[in-house]
Amino acid sequence: MVNFKDYTKQYINGKWLEGSGANTIDVLNPYDDSRLYTVKTVNEADIDQAMLTAEKAQKKWAKTTPGERKEVLRKVIAYLEEHKKEIIDIYTSETGGTILAANIALQITFEELEEAIKFADEVNVVNQVPATIEGKENHVYRVPVGVITSISPFNFPLNLSVRTIAPAIALGNAVVHKPDVATGITGGVILTKAFEEAGLPAGVLNLLLTDPKTDGTGDYLLEHPIPRFISFTGSTAVGRHVGEIAGRNLKKVALELGGNNPFIVLSDADVDRAVDAAIFGKFVHQGQICMITNRIIVHKDIAEEFTNKFVDRAKALPYGNPKDPATVVGPLINDRQLQKAQAVIEAAIANGEKIALEGQRVGNILTPYVFKDVKNDSALAQTEVFSPIATIIPVESDEEAIRIASETEYGLSSSIFTQDLEKAQQYALQIDSGVTHINDQTVNAQPDIPFGGNKASGVGRFGNPWLIEEFTTTKWVSVQKTYREFPF
């Protein structure tokens, strides 16, 4: 047994340390607001130490063999397997996610780690390129980028952290990781402890449990000159800020941001199956997922049937304590997110939107809301609600459904329900999003698929092999084997 609350500290150069900042942060259980633990924040000196440590450790780590890096990753998997029960318990306490959500996150984490093992063979490999100069050999190497800053969000913190940390380390990089402090254990401590127990050399992975707004460091982590790459998952507003700083400092970025994902139900769709998928795609983890179904776009001929069946299913979803295996809808992460969701509801009502299902606030839980007959250009439809609020948009034709699916600033995930699979694949290519699923909902993850968004949903792609390009850099080394004559 391990009590992960014992490790709610900074992890720098292989040591668990209290932060040197002047403030503390109480992390609360989203369900009942009980205090889970308290974190001492960092200061700029702590960040400097983490970065300098990572820079030094990375130079040695980059020289390790693929076999050595693979062995560490295998031991991480074994550690997480051994402590699955404790992980699921703290996951539900810290994130407010249900037992189902915790198991999904853990399964995706295992898949990401297994895939990361394959990355270890893709670095420090030489490719020969023919030379145009007599007697010259061209060697092109793929080498680690160096130190990577990793920043992960509160919503699915375990797998949204591992998808950067594991590939980065497998490719010979070092990582300075800052999860959202509200989910510091599931977003940082669990993985850091696993890598420590797996024998990862000190300094290759460093953990900062802190909040820049609270600790007074501002953008210091982003602006620090040592990291060459910033991997950020979070809101579009913050992502724009991260991208701005990275561009100014000529850092590479991977930005996976918000979404306003359309779930399209065409005229020939199987309504019952579409409802099944839409219920899961909208309400899993209380709607707090970047890929969550946000706009449900339904052909007018089946809109009434779909809406009635969807409402019946939504109002029957069990809500309550996320530790209860029967619970589907648990609490939102904190009161601020609850207030944002309630503000969306109040604004929609004030704008005359029709309620098909009126939810309620029960403690920190918001039960499902469903709005019907919504226009795609309305404020409601154009808002990423990040909560259990469903928006149903009827359309005149299948062509209109496909067209308005892209009429949003976002472009992350999307889905199409239809019995015409050939037409659906043509439609899928017309939607301006990084992902389209046919006859499925919008929330899917797979570590060997290019995952990322278009427009305001982000920059770059996760997944093997696309992430290799992100987390490495190429180097040309030429060897002149015979004497070369020069013109002067």
Query: And the tokens for 186?
Result: 């599931």
How many angstroms separate the CA atoms of 363 and 365, rounded? Answer: 6
Q: CA 233 to CA 252: how far, in whole Å?
A: 14
Q: In what order do the strands lie in the sheet with 458-459?
A: 15-17, 10-12, 205-207, 174-179, 147-152, 229-233, 252-256, 458-459
As a whole number of angstroms, the distance between CA 356 and CA 346 comes to 15
Give residue 96's region: left, alpha or beta (phi > 0; psi -120 to 50): left
Q: Which string of DSSP letters, residue by residue, matches 393-433? A: EEESSHHHHHHHHT-SSEES--EEE-S-HHHHHHHHHHS-S
Instruction: Decide if 179 contacts 187 (C-beta within 8 A).
Output: yes
Is 215 in contact with 19 (CB distance < 8 Å)?
Answer: yes
Amino acid code (one letter) for 51:
M
Query: CA–CA separation, 20 vs 430, rounded Å?
Result: 52
Q: Is 439 left (phi over 0), alpha (psi -120 to 50) or beta?
A: left
> What distance in Å separates the CA atoms of residue 150 and residue 229, rounded to the nearest whole number?
9
- Is 244 an active-site residue? no
Structure tokens at 176: 């300075």
Which of 115, 122, 196, 256 is catalytic? The answer is: 256
Give the HSE-up count for residue 215: Cα atoms under 13 Å, Cβ half-sphere.
Answer: 24
Is-contact 314 370, C-beta < 8 A?
yes
Residue 95 has which token pair?
Answer: 């994130």
67-71 long-range contacts (CB < 8 A, ≥24 apart) are: 67/120, 69/120, 69/169, 69/170, 69/172, 70/117, 70/120, 70/170, 71/199
Dihedral of the CA atoms 439, 440, 444, 450 (nearest 10)? 10
Dmax over CA atoms of the chain, in Å, equals 84
Place of tokens 């109002």: 315
* Residue at token pair 């620090």: 224
CA 197 – CA 187 distance, rounded (Å): 17
CB 410 within 8 A of CB 262: no
Q: Tell me the sheet residues that pair with 293.
A: 261
**CA-to-CA distance for 46 and 13, rounded, in angstroms?**
11
User: How does DSSP classify residue 175?
Assistant: E
Name the residues annotated as catalytic.
256
